[in-house]
Amino acid sequence: MVEQKHDRTAVEGGFFCGSQTIKRGCMNEEEFKTIAIGDTITYTLLADQRPKNPQRAYRGVVKSIYSDIQMVLVTLLDEGYEGLSEPVRISQIQSVNKP
């Protein structure tokens, strides 16, 4: 089920103040709950996606949030991939930028 989030509560001194980067896989459930539709995330691909460059970070705008499975659907912003959609798991997210 798609969960549409519309409130943009500020988290002072927390994970999402500004564009703070987190270590891969360190985002917890509470931090994930603060992601909102329209946020821009930076993420890496999973090993089973066989990335040519595993360290490459991709950027996408959050379009849907699936809290029950801790996944978001993003529309890619990277050159050559613009407009494509991709699911991103909580463990892949490296940073979040609020609009």
What is the domain partition of the chain in residue ranges? 29-97
Please report, for residues 2, 3, 7, 45, the alpha-carbon distance to residue 94 in angstroms, rounded to integers and kept in the order given. 22, 21, 22, 11
- Considering the entire predicted model, what is its pTM? 0.73
29-97: which CATH topology? SH3 type barrels. (2.30.30)
Tracing tokens 């909580």 back to the chain, one arrives at: 90
- Residue 15's pLDDT band (cuts 50, 70, 90): very low
State yes or no: pLDDT of 2 exceeds 80: no
